[in-house]
């Protein structure tokens, strides 16, 4: 009993493993069988119906998909559907030529229906309809889709370096983590693969349209030959029988082909935005001014004598009514009052003039403050899709990890005294940076080498002073193709904030922060901290040392080495400058790594031995007052250092 159950379970598991991934190979084998083996008419009806249903599903998925890349399997599906249709053409041609002389449904109900019902049994009308469908498919839809596929594939590949740079910049600035960066890189790779595959898949559609024309001509000529010679039909009878069946066969194949061509055109012409096609069309065509003008033109055409008044006036009323509805909805939304704020605190309802002053009336100075104009409020409002709060949190996390201490929170408030698009960054109540951004535009930054100019408002990146242009979001792909780094307004503010905090990090470190660092270090090295404060050094001296290191751009992540060095040198000197020099030497590996990013070689500028000896002797003679250098020598030394630095920058 147990053995039987075990064998059944093993057989079930093996069957599941064998059945996985067999769908596509079985379909391909079935297609090969359709080409080689004769098929009964009833099976042809089923396969033709399946072909039409598959084409309808594909075009609906193409319309309803939010982004073209989300339908990444489309090129493969397009190839399989094209091969299936061509195999059906071969199978149906065999049936038409073998049994077409019997007439009626000898080639299947579907072919008969398209030959008799769709074109009314008139083969001349059928030829004209088939030719029109073929021209629409081949010269209009397929040609345009093929050209767009080629251009889209080339532009996507050209834009990849700029997109990769933008991801690296966001990652380095702390706006995204490694997982998000990896996901974005995978999206870029998938997008490039998709449009590259679409470039090739469009050739299948074009070839399929051409094949439809040749198959029709071959079927008619072959049918005439077989009908007149083998079945003794007259020329007129053979022409009518085989032409109707051939046209029916051609229409059954050409209509799904046209649907797939339209699906291909829809996929390659859509922008890579996370929005359904129906929503995009409704949003972008809902222009009140255009609808009012269209309504007026249709009304004038409707009252012209001889025109179909009902049709033109009806559509004029529809366009005008929809435009009025949009205007009314927008007006109602603008007039809607904000929700009243109800306070349960009795003190809040007391008039301000009779309230007693308290410490709450003394404004607290924020360590880090960000004030924004009223047009930038959507950037900090999560209900309106604002991402600035998330970006600032990422900046704080990244800087805290890099510098070695917790960056204080950023207090954000709106300020009506600022310009609508302006923002103001302050530290300890003092403004350290300000700029203006456009919340509904994006900033295209010139990293130093671009391949064209952009239309927009020229400006400068507030963080690094690089040349930049404010552009519309629709220009993003084009700007990245030209080599620009494109960021939104929230990223601009967050990058500016990150740069200012990095340059002024030493002002953020005070007694409270240093005490917290010591408490954290004491959890793992209690003896080390106990022996330093207050026995050897005061907390104020340690704060001064750490602030000086941050001022010089040296991170204080390695607090264990810093405290150990201070403990070693504190008995020798209490001078913060001497202690900073000792700590700087102890952190030599960290400093070199920050400068050289882990490279095997570190380019340096050295002094001539004679000059080095002269400065050393002067330093010893000067004592605590420093080295005394002749003014002429000091000027030449400064010029030489500038030239050497420029040469080093050119050398990379």
The single-letter DSSP state of residue 425 is E
% of residues, the chain, pLDDT over 70: 85
* Of 271, 80, 266, residue with least CA distance to 191: 271
Q: How far is the first Cα of the chain from the last one, in angstroms, to the nearest whole number?
A: 77
Together in a domain, 110 and 191: yes
Helix axes 539-551, 559-569, angle to 10 degrees: 120
| Average pLDDT of span 606-611 | 82
User: At 624, is the pLDDT very low, low, confident or very high (cuts 50, 70, 90)?
Assistant: low
pLDDT of residue 85: 84
Together in a domain, 224 and 321: no
Together in a domain, 493 and 370: yes
% of residues, the chain, pLDDT over 90: 15
pLDDT of residue 295: 87
Alpha helices in 336-367 (DSSP H): none
Lowest average pLDDT, out of 355-364, 526-535, 536-545, goes to 355-364
Choose the final residue of a domain: 452, 484, 505.
Answer: 505
Q: Is residue 338 part of a domain?
A: no
pLDDT of residue 361: 65
User: What's the chain's average pLDDT?
Assistant: 80
Q: Is residue 346 part of a domain?
A: no
Say which residues have a Cβ less than 8 Å from residue 49's Cβ, sequence separation at least 6.
110
pLDDT at 40 > cutoff 60: yes
User: At 10, is the pLDDT very low, low, confident or very high (cuts 50, 70, 90)?
Assistant: very low
Whether omega before 534 lies within 30 degrees of 0, making that bond cis, reads yes
Higher pLDDT, 336 or 255: 255
pLDDT at 13 > cutoff 60: no
pLDDT of residue 548: 93
Together in a domain, 568 and 643: no
Phi, psi dihedrals of residue 564, rounded to the nearest 5°: -65, -40
Secondary element (H or E) of residue 485: strand 485-488
**Cα dihedral 342, 345, 349, 354 in deg (nearest 10):** -160
Distance CA 508, CA 400 (A): 11
> What is the domain count for the chain?
5
* Of 523, 596, 508, residue with least CA distance to 556: 508
HEC string of 589-645 equals: HHHHHHHHCCCCCCCCCCCCHHHHHHHHHHHHHHHHHCCCCCHHHHHHHHHHHHHHH
Dihedral (CA of 643, 647, 650, 652) sign: negative
Together in a domain, 436 and 553: no
pLDDT of residue 119: 65
| Average pLDDT of span 200-223 | 79
* Of 434, 479, 380, residue with least CA distance to 165: 479
User: At 165, is the pLDDT very low, low, confident or very high (cuts 50, 70, 90)?
Assistant: confident
Lowest average pLDDT, out of 251-265, 341-355, 376-390, goes to 341-355
Q: Is residue 360 part of a domain?
A: no
pLDDT at 333 > cutoff 50: yes
Distance CA 634, CA 615 (A): 11
pLDDT of residue 250: 79
Q: Is residue 640 part of a domain?
A: yes
pLDDT of residue 15: 46
Distance CA 379, CA 382 (A): 8
Together in a domain, 486 and 519: no
Distance CA 223, CA 101 (A): 9
pLDDT digits (tens, 9 = 90+) for 400-445: 999 999 999 999 888 888 888 999 999 988 999 999 998 889 999 9
Pick left, alpha or beta for residue 37 (phi over 0 → left; psi -120 to 50 → alpha; otherwise beta). beta
The whole domain housing 129 covers 26-154+184-281
Together in a domain, 85 and 115: yes
* Of 137, 89, 110, 133, residue with least CA distance to 263: 137
Kindly report each contact of residues 436-440 with a partner whose C-beta sits within 8 Å and lies 24 or more positions away, as own/partner. 437/376, 437/462, 437/489, 437/492, 437/493, 438/470, 438/489, 439/375, 439/376, 439/378, 439/379, 439/489, 440/473
Distance CA 394, CA 172 (A): 10
The single-letter DSSP state of residue 545 is H
Distance CA 350, CA 99 (A): 98
User: At 628, is the pLDDT very low, low, confident or very high (cuts 50, 70, 90)?
Assistant: low
Higher pLDDT, 23 or 295: 295
pLDDT at 220 > cutoff 60: yes
| Average pLDDT of span 623-628 | 58
pLDDT of residue 247: 80
Choose the final residue of a domain: 281, 312, 339.
Answer: 281
Higher pLDDT, 551 or 22: 551
Listed in order, strand segments (DSSP E) in 422-473 are: 422-427, 430-436, 442-445, 457-460, 467-471
Spatial contact of 41 and 108, defined as CB atoms under 8 Å apart? yes
pLDDT of residue 350: 47
Q: Is residue 236 part of a domain?
A: yes
Distances (CA, A) of 466 to 168, 395, 496: 18, 20, 12
CATH number of the domain enclosing 548: 1.10.8.540
* Of 173, 340, 141, 346, residue with least CA distance to 254: 141
Collapsing DSSP to helix, strand or coil, 410 comes out as strand
User: At 235, is the pLDDT very low, low, confident or very high (cuts 50, 70, 90)?
Assistant: confident
User: At 651, is the pLDDT very low, low, confident or very high (cuts 50, 70, 90)?
Assistant: low
Together in a domain, 377 and 496: yes
User: At 341, is the pLDDT very low, low, confident or very high (cuts 50, 70, 90)?
Assistant: very low
Say which residues have a Cβ less than 8 Å from residue 539's Cβ, sequence separation at least 6.
511, 514, 515, 533
Say which residues have a Cβ less than 8 Å from residue 367's Cβ, sequence separation at least 6.
408, 409, 427, 428, 508
Q: Is residue 343 part of a domain?
A: no
Together in a domain, 644 and 575: no
Distance CA 450, CA 441 (A): 20
pLDDT of residue 494: 92
Higher pLDDT, 520 or 109: 520
pLDDT of residue 14: 52
pLDDT digits (tens, 9 = 90+) for 265-307: 888 777 666 566 666 677 777 777 888 888 888 888 888 888 8
pLDDT of residue 586: 92
Together in a domain, 556 and 607: no
pLDDT of residue 595: 76
pLDDT of residue 444: 92
pLDDT at 375 > cutoff 80: yes
pLDDT of residue 18: 46
| Average pLDDT of span 526-547 | 87
pLDDT digits (tens, 9 = 90+) for 135-147: 887 777 877 777 7
* Of 621, 622, 532, residue with least CA distance to 569: 532
Distances (CA, A) of 109 to 36, 86, 88, 231: 22, 19, 15, 22
Distances (CA, A) of 352 to 340, 346, 359: 19, 13, 15
pLDDT at 203 > cutoff 80: no
pLDDT of residue 347: 47
User: At 354, is the pLDDT very low, low, confident or very high (cuts 50, 70, 90)?
Assistant: low
Together in a domain, 194 and 269: yes
CATH number of the domain enclosing 420: 3.40.30.60
Choose the final residue of a domain: 249, 266, 281.
Answer: 281
Together in a domain, 404 and 521: no
pLDDT digits (tens, 9 = 90+) for 53-82: 988 998 888 888 877 788 888 888 888 888
Rg, Å, the chain Cα set: 38
Collapsing DSSP to helix, strand or coil, 436 comes out as strand
Collapsing DSSP to helix, strand or coil, 404 comes out as coil
User: At 346, is the pLDDT very low, low, confident or very high (cuts 50, 70, 90)?
Assistant: very low
Most confident of 361-370, 518-527, 642-651: 518-527
Q: Is residue 167 part of a domain?
A: no
| Average pLDDT of span 318-333 | 81
pLDDT at 111 > cutoff 80: no
| Average pLDDT of span 488-507 | 92
Q: Is residue 204 part of a domain?
A: yes
């Amino acid at each position: 009993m147990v053995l039987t159950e075990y064998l059944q379970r093993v057989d079930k598991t093996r069957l599941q493993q064998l059945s996985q991934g067999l769908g596509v190979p079985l379909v391909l084998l079935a297609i090969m069988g359709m080409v080689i083996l004769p098929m009964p008419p009833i099976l042809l009806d089923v396969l033709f119906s399946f072909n039409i249903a598959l084409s309808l599903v594909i075009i609906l998925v193409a319309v309803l998909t939010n982004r073209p890349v989300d339908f990444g399997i489309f090129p493969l599906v397009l190839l399989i559907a094209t091969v299936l249709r061509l195999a059906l053409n071969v199978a149906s041609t065999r049936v038409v030529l073998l049994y077409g002389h019997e007439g009626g449904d000898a080639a299947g109900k579907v072919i008969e229906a398209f030959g008799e019902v769709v074109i009314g049994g008139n083969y001349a009308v059928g030829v004209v309809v088939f030719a029109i469908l073929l021209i629409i498919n081949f010269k209009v839809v397929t040609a345009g889709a093929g050209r767009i596929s080629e251009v889209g594939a080339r532009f996507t590949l050209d834009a990849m370096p700029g997109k990769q740079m933008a991801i690296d910049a966001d990652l380095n600035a702390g706006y995204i983590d490694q997982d998000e960066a990896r996901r974005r890189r995978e999206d870029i790779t998938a997008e490039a693969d998709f449009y590259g595959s679409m470039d090739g898949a469009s050739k299948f559609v074009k070839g399929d349209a051409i094949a439809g024309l040749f198959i029709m001509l071959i079927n008619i000529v072959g049918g005439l030959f077989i009908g007149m010679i083998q079945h003794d039909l007259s020329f007129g009878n053979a022409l009518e029988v085989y032409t109707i069946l051939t046209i029916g066969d051609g229409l059954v194949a050409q209509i799904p082909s046209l649907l797939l061509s339209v699906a291909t055109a829809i996929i390659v012409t859509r922008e890579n935005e996370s929005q359904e096609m129906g929503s995009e069309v409704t949003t972008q065509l809902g222009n009140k001014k255009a609808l009012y003008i269209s309504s007026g033109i249709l009304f004038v055409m409707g009252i012209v004598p001889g025109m179909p008044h009902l049709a033109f006036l009806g559509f004029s009323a529809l366009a005008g009514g929809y435009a009025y509805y949009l205007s009314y909805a927008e007006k109602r939304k603008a007039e809607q009052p904000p929700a009243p704020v109800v306070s349960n605190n009795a003190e809040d309802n007391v008039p301000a003039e009779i309230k007693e002053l308290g410490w709450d009336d003394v404004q607290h100075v924020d360590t880090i403050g960000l004030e924004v104009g009223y047009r930038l409020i959507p950037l900090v409002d999560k209900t309106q899709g604002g991402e600035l709060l998330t970006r600032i949190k990422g900046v704080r996390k990244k800087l805290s990890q890099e510098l070695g201490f917790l960056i204080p929170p950023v207090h954000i408030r709106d300020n009506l005294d600022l310009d609508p698009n302006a923002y103001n960054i302050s530290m300890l109540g003092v403004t350290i940076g300000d700029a203006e951004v456009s919340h509904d535009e994006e900033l295209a930054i010139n990293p130093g080498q671009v391949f064209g100019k952009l239309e927009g408002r020229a400006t400068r990146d507030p963080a690094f002073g690089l040349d930049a242009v404010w552009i519309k979001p629709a220009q993003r792909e084009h700007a990245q193709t030209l080599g620009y780094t494109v960021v939104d307004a929230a990223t601009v503010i967050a990058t500016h904030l990150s740069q200012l905090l990095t340059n002024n990090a030493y002002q953020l470190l005070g007694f409270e922060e240093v005490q917290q660092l010591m408490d954290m270090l004491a959890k793992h090295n209690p003896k080390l901290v106990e022996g330093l404060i207050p026995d050897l050094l005061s907390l104020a001296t340690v704060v001064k040392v750490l602030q000086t290191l941050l001022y010089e751009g040296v991170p204080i992540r390695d607090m264990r080495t810093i405290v150990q060095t201070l403990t070693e040198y504190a008995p020798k000197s209490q001078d913060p400058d001497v202690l900073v020099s000792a700590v700087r030497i102890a952190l030599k590996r960290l400093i070199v790594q920050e400068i050289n990013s882990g490279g095997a070689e570190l380019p340096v500028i050295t002094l001539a031995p004679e000059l080095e000896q002269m400065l050393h002797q002067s330093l010893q003679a000067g004592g605590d007052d420093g080295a005394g250098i002749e003014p002429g020598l000091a000027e030449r030394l400064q010029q030489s250092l500038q030239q050497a630095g420029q040469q080093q920058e050119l050398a990379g």
